[in-house]
Structures are given as structure tokens and as C-alpha cells.
Chains A and B, each alone.
Chain A
């Protein structure tokens, strides 16, 4: 592949640039428009620049329960993240051995990905209704979110363990490490970047989930439900301010994940650990 870059490269590069513009353009637009002046509307031109709509966001009566829903979504996201990381990692360990029912569980994970979200939502909602339970964001919605994040976690763990060199474990065992010590001091440190990745999936997928929360959140809304409710009855840039805030939270979480990757890599380089060479 040492040929000079021909017209094909430049065409594709232009196409790629357009694609990126298409991906980010609209989000950037609402980012700018959320700083609209107090008399500004939902579209350009900008009528001055202000933080008016962000202020508006924090007045409780204007937009329903923004703080409450934000708090619930954060707690739910963190809980989903923790359970996703632990359950996927532990299942990833299990799947390295052959066991009865492994095929069934694998296909359940695939099914969990491809069964439309609305059906999961509807099914859990109906189940709670038939049983006479009250759906709530911390019970039914929590379970609904896990059916979305766990398959991603499991598939990532499969990919990771397929590339994992088992000789590290054998070496640990030969040196007298117990099973728990092997996991704690050998496997987890080597796989740490992948576990951070699984956590990123767990948190963000839960934080942004709409369809699976619809019939499972119960009385109190999560943030995406709140935003969706706003789209039908709010016609001011406060909607964009909310969009800017939630997108900023998403970017913050992505940034934290990337920063943790970098820290892990630096530490490995500094300590000259041989663990880094396997991952």
C-alpha cells in the first residue's frame, strides 16, 4: 500500500468530512442556539447572547421536574454501570469453561439485543400490572436497562477474553496465588481498560435510554422521559439548553473514560509492568 493518494482518496475523504459534519452539525447548532437571548426563538437568527434559557432550566415550575429526573437518571446510570461491569466480567469468566446452558444464555443475550426495546418495556410493564406491582425507576426500569447494557458488556468481554493470554493466570497459579488472588491481582489489572469501556457503555446507554423506560419508570420520570415530554409542550430554547446540559454530561463521562485509559497506560509504562504487553 505505498501508492500515491489518488482521486479515490480525496473523494472518500470529502465524503467522510461531510459525514462528520452531518453527525455533529445539528448538535453544534442547538449548542449555539441554547445561548439565545431572552427574546430569541427556536431558529436562527440569534437575538443576542445570554444564559437566560439555562437560568430558565433551573426554575422548577417552568419545565417540570428537571432536577429530580436528572438525579434519578444519574443514580440509575451509575447502578446500571456497576452491575453491568460486575455481571459481564463474571459471566465472561464463566464462558471460558464449557457448561450446560451456555448456548441458551448466549442466545438470550443476542435476543436481548434484537428484541425491540418497546417490547421489553411493554412486557415488563404488563408483568408488573398483572402481578399488581408498581413499576418504579429503581426496580423495573433498572431491570429493563440491564437487558440493554448486559449484552453489550458480555459481547465486549467475549472479545476481550478471546485475546487474553491464559499463561498469565497459569503463572500466577504456579506461584501459589489462590483463584481469588489470580482474579484480583492478575486478570482485573490486565483487563482494566476493557472494564472501563464496559462501564462507559453501561452508564451512557442507561442515562440516554428512552423506550425501555417508557412503561417501566412508574410515577417518577427519568431524564429522557422528561425531555420527551418537553418536546411536545415546550417551544422555547429552554429545550436546547436542556440538550446542551445533557450532552455536556455525556461528553464529561466519555472524557472521564478516555482519561482513565490514559492514566492506566501511563502507569503501566512508568512501572514497566509486563501486564500491559498482553492487553
Chain B
């Protein structure tokens, strides 16, 4: 506010700004620059070629991979949204004591602070050929042969996504719900709305910002993912991230960079579309 102290303000924000400059802006700029470079089997050669993009965009494999990634993102988005909304709704409106609310909320958030790779691995004893799911189903007499599609399949990939990322939906939606003035719900009830109508016409519209923030998290994470796809599909499914990884392991850095630029644009457009629904700064 006071101009006298403005240099202090800049000093205070400098460490943060410096990290973003050195480890976000410059690296992304490097990707963009390198995506126009030439390369051979041993080195990358500074140049200005659009060949990397041509090869990428004219390959049917690229389109299939992008389609698969978008499909994963869409399915995961719908599932995490439905589950996350239900969980947040229960916590916000059905748990009456504040202490219990906080305890149950913590129970939901603790897995966020543990290792994702370990949480993926922990599905192996459940889904494997001789895993808990198969042996339970067999002993119940529902199936005769173990189901093969449980582990190392698209099913396993989506299951792991939902397992890992539903949290990103629960937290912002819960936050939105806790800000809803409870007298609005009373008013809806008094005006003769059924519970369902209150949900549909009062709660859901007021939760839109939370839903948007959660969706941005889930969709961007799934679109850039490669660990889950590789671990849970056992190498049978593809994703854009994995495609980049393969190019990198073949030392085709400019090809990987071109792919990275295309993915970045796709992610930014998706987020821009969702941001139209919400002003993030107002939500804090």
C-alpha cells in the first residue's frame, strides 16, 4: 500500500518468483525451443524445424494415444466427481458434530500424504490372478476361473486413478459445501422443496467452484500421468506421458519435446475452459 516499503515486498516475494522462473518458466521455454531442434542417434542439433511436429501429428499412433488418454481422463473425472461429491455431501451435511466432521475429513485426506507408488502396488494382492478378489469370487461360486482382467488392464488403471485422486475432488467440494449458509437450506425446505430439489437447485450450483477446482486437479493429473498406466496396465495401455518416456529413452529429445508442447496446449485449453466457471482467488 505504502510505496516506501515496496522494495521489502519485492524482497519477500523474490524466493518464490525465482524458483518459478528457474524451474518452471525456463524449463518450459527449453521444451518449446528443443521441440524445433534436429536430432540424430547420438545428439541434438540446434535448428528450426517443424518436422518433429509433422511426424507427431501425422502419425495415427499419436491420435490413438491422445484419444486413450482423454478417455482415461473423462472416465476418471466422472467417477471421482460422483464419489467425491457423495463423500463431501455426507461429511458436510450429515455429520453433525464438528469434531467428527474434522476427524472423518482427516481420515479422507491422510492417504494424500503417503506414497502414490506404494498405494498402486498395494492393489497387487487384491487384483492378482490368485488375489483376494478372485479367490473370494471363486469360493462364493460366482466364477470358476480367475478373472484375468482385474490386474494389468484398463480396469486396473481407472481403479488406481479413482483410488489415488478422488481426494482432490472431496477437499474442494467439501470446502465449498462448508461455506453454504445453512439458512438457505432451511429456506428451500420451508418453500416446499424436497431433499432432492434442494440438492439439485441449491447445493449443486453453490458447489460449482469446488467442483471446478477438483476437476482441474483430476483431469490435469490424469492427462500427464505415466506411472499409473505403466504399473497398473503392465505395459498394455498407452498414455501420452508414456509415449514421451519412450521417446526419451530412445534419446529422441526433440520428438519428446514436441509431444510435450502438444500435451501442454491440450491441458491449458482444458483448464481455461474450466476456469471460466470459477474465480480461484475468491475461493481461498
Contacts and interface: CB of A to CB of B under 8 A. Distances in A.
Interface in A95-134: 95, 97-99, 101-102, 105-106, 108-120, 122-127, 129-130
Given A23-B108, A23-B111, A243-B122, A126 B83 contact: no
A235 to B, nearest CB: 10
A24 B107 CA distance: 9
Interface residues of B, number: 88
Interface residues of A, number: 91
A146 interface: yes
Majority SS at the chain A contact face: helix
Interface stretch (A63-71, A155-163, A271-279): A155-163
Contacts of A98: 1
B114 A86 contact: no
A150 B16 contact: yes
Interface in B1-48: 1, 5-6, 8-10, 12-13, 15-17, 19-20, 22-28, 30-31, 34, 44
Interface in A77-105: 83, 86-88, 90-91, 93-95, 97-99, 101-102, 105
A169 interface: no
Contact of B244 (A23, A25, A118): A118
B227 A251 contact: no
Contacts of B281: 106, 158
B53 interface: no
Nearest to A140: B23
B77 interface: no
Interface stretch (A26-34, A47-55, A170-178, A187-195): A26-34
Contact of A27 (B119, B244, B264): B119
A43 B128 contact: yes
B104 interface: yes
A35 interface: no
B87 interface: yes
Interface of B: 1, 5-6, 8-10, 12-13, 15-17, 19-20, 22-28, 30-31, 34, 44, 83, 86-87, 89-91, 93-94, 96, 104, 107-108, 110-111, 113-119, 121-126, 128, 130-132, 135, 163, 166, 182, 185-186, 195, 216-217, 220-221, 223-227, 231, 241, 244-245, 248, 253, 256-257, 260, 263-264, 267-268, 271, 280-281, 284
27 contacts: A12-B94, A16-B86, A16-B104, A23-B111, A43-B128, A43-B132, A93-B12, A95-B13, A99-B6, A114-B220, A116-B263, A119-B31, A120-B23, A120-B28, A122-B260, A123-B260, A146-B19, A147-B19, A147-B24, A159-B284, A200-B113, A208-B116, A211-B226, A215-B248, A243-B115, A246-B114, A246-B115
Interface of A: 1, 5, 8-9, 12-13, 15-16, 19-20, 22-27, 29-30, 33, 42-44, 83, 86-88, 90-91, 93-95, 97-99, 101-102, 105-106, 108-120, 122-127, 129-130, 143-144, 146-147, 150, 154-155, 158-159, 162, 179, 200, 204, 207-208, 210-211, 215, 224, 227-228, 231, 239-240, 242-243, 246-247, 250-251, 253-254
